[in-house]
A and B are shown apart, each in its own frame.
Chain A
Amino acid sequence: MSNDSSQSPPDRRPLIAFAWLWVGAPLVYGLYELVLKAKQLFTG
């Protein structure tokens, strides 16, 4: 009965943050480059 409370599951939040940052950072770079290019439609 008592060992259930002593074995709390690991906190996944740091791993979730790392995983989303891993995929989010290159995506933000791609979106930034896209915005620069798309601006040419209005300025070019």
Chain B
Amino acid sequence: MSPPVAPPAWSRWLVPPAALSVHLSIGQAYAWSVFKPPLESSLNLSGTQSALPFQLAIVMLGLSAAFGGTLVERNGPRWAMTVALVCFSSGFLISALGAETKQFWLIVLGYGFVGGIGLGIGYISPVSTLIKWFPDRPGMATGIAIMGFGGGALIASPWSAQMLKSFGSDNTGIAQSFLVLGLSYAVFMTLGVLLVRVPRTEGPKGEDKDEAKDAANAPSVLSGVQVSANSAVRTPQFWCLWVVLCMNVTAGIGILEKAAPMITDFFADTSTPVTVSAAAGFVALLSAANMAGRIGWSSTSDLIGRKNIYRVYLGVGAVMYALIALFGDSSKPLFILCALVILSFYGGGFATVPAYLKDLFGTYQVGAIHGRLLTAWSLAGVLGPLIVNWIADHQKDAGKHGASLYNTSFIIMIGLLVIGFVANELVRPVNARHHIPAPREAADVERQQSESA
């Protein structure tokens, strides 16, 4: 399949909703926990077992984004969105069959393996295209899409809970919910498949004033430094950014993973303890901060620069952790504020990284490079919860309680953020020996467009 080239006067404002239709769908992954209790009771599973489909899905997200990135670049965003749609939706349909027949392995295979491939390919599918359409505001453009990934759970979580209430929480009710989700997401993602276009090399020509203004800003597809994905992974810049992303995500997950028990433990011995429902409200507020950070901080990076915004994420993030560790248990508003800021930086870090990659490596294979960088997320996804849970368990065994369960974790998080800060400082422009010669880029784009004509 050739990349779908935009006809003349195609508006670039049609591309973000195309991206959002995919990211809002695959963001459902973060709402998996809604299905855990009913699965455990109806299929007689342990908590560890019921988490397996989600864990495999996240592993497959990292693997398919890393290894499928070059294919996505070669075949274009429509191919990638189609693959994401087919895998993600059929993952639900296979899981529905698994739930109905009480075959848990089918749910692991469907949601975890097949659906996970859809997550990875879907996650990177619009990134490169958005950056090419919005060379003047790449942070904002990728921020919109990646905000969708955060927003997906906000939609799927109450919707799935409502379906389980209507269909029942037994295996048949779960199967029906999976079926509805699979079919609905297939329809919803179709918009992205139909709308997405890659820009013409000469840029769109707007007829009216707005379009003309857009066109003036819009795509000069391959200008500046261009580095292939294979060359990029051999540069120190890629690995510095890998460390930056890994440290930033680890620090965010450190809070996100245990947010509800953390706020409860912090204020357990005070005159105003936190109730279970208030803790749930805190988790919801963190989700909002995560989402707002994705669009807000990423758009800000277009104004102040990518390196500066990561200085803020990592430097101010470390200060926020220090404030929680020192004064968090004495002031609830301070604890909440610091946690919200950290989570907004967590989201911002995810959303800004494609634009940072574009600044360093150009747009030539930015989607594939982004896919490879997401392996940092996979490691951080294991590292963050591991640090916080392991330390909290050991402190509890040692007879400690309250805020002291988490203080060691916070000090480790500060150390990790400092490592990330140093890695960001080490980022320099890529050496010219890694650049792709200009005629080759032009020839590649010409070939893609003539194939699609």
Answer whether A40 and B277 are a contact pair too, CB < 8 Å, given A12-B11, A23-B24. yes
B336 CB contacts on chain A under 8 angstroms: 41
User: For the complex, what is the distance from the CA of A22 to the CA of B14, rounded to whole Å?
Assistant: 12
A40 CB contacts on chain B under 8 angstroms: 277-278, 280-281, 284
- A16 with B278: CB separation less than 8 A: no
- B158 with A30: CB separation less than 8 A: yes
B7 CB contacts on chain A under 8 angstroms: 9
User: For the complex, what is the distance from the CA of A26 to the CA of B148, rounded to whole Å?
Assistant: 11
Total inter-chain residue pairs, C-beta < 8 Å:
87
Answer whether A38 and B277 are a contact pair too, CB < 8 Å, given A12-B9, A26-B155, A30-B155. no
B158 CB contacts on chain A under 8 angstroms: 29-30, 33
User: For the complex, what is the distance from the CA of A41 to the CA of B278, rounded to whole Å?
Assistant: 4
Give B134 Cβ to nearest chain A Cβ, in Å.
Answer: 15
- B17 with A44: CB separation less than 8 A: no
- B281 with A30: CB separation less than 8 A: no
Answer whether A23 and B281 are a contact pair too, CB < 8 Å, given A9-B9, A33-B154, A34-B288. no
User: For the complex, what is the distance from the CA of A4 to the CA of B285, rounded to whole Å?
Assistant: 54
Give B180 Cβ to nearest chain A Cβ, in Å.
Answer: 14
Report A22-44 residues with CB < 8 Å from chain B CB: 22-23, 26-27, 29-31, 33-34, 37-44
Residue of chain B at shortest CB distance from A9: B9
Give B199 Cβ to nearest chain A Cβ, in Å.
Answer: 14
Answer whether A38 and B17 are a contact pair too, CB < 8 Å, given A12-B10, A33-B158, A44-B275. no
A26 CB contacts on chain B under 8 angstroms: 24, 155, 188
- B275 with A19: CB separation less than 8 A: no
Binary interface profile of B, 159-197, with partner A (CB < 8 Å = 1, else 0)? 100000000000000000000000000001001000100
**Contact with A41, one of B11, B191, B281 (Cβ below 8 angstroms):** B281
Report B275-309 residues with CB < 8 Å from chain A CB: 275-278, 280-282, 284-285, 287-288
Binding site secondary structure of chain A: helix
- Is A1 close to B, CB under 8 A? no
Q: Which range holds the interface residue count of chain A?
A: 20 to 34
- Is A8 close to B, CB under 8 A? yes
User: For the complex, what is the distance from the CA of A23 to the CA of B159, rounded to whole Å?
Assistant: 15
- B14 with A44: CB separation less than 8 A: no
A22 CB contacts on chain B under 8 angstroms: 17, 21, 188, 191
Residue of chain A at shortest CB distance from B287: A34
- A23 with B21: CB separation less than 8 A: yes
User: For the complex, what is the distance from the CA of A19 to the CA of B71, rounded to whole Å?
Assistant: 27
- Is B207 close to A, CB under 8 A? yes
A8 CB contacts on chain B under 8 angstroms: 207
- A41 with B282: CB separation less than 8 A: yes
**Contact with B280, one of A9, A30, A37 (Cβ below 8 angstroms):** A37
> Chain B: residues with CB nearer than 8 A to chain A?
7-11, 13-14, 17-18, 20-21, 24, 148, 151, 154-155, 157-159, 188, 191, 195, 207, 275-278, 280-282, 284-285, 287-288, 336
8 intermolecular pairs with C-beta atoms under 8 Å apart: A9-B7, A9-B8, A12-B9, A16-B13, A22-B191, A29-B159, A31-B154, A41-B278
Given contacts A23-B24, A41-B281, 8 further A-B contacts (CB under 8 A): A16-B11, A20-B17, A26-B24, A26-B188, A37-B280, A40-B281, A44-B277, A44-B281
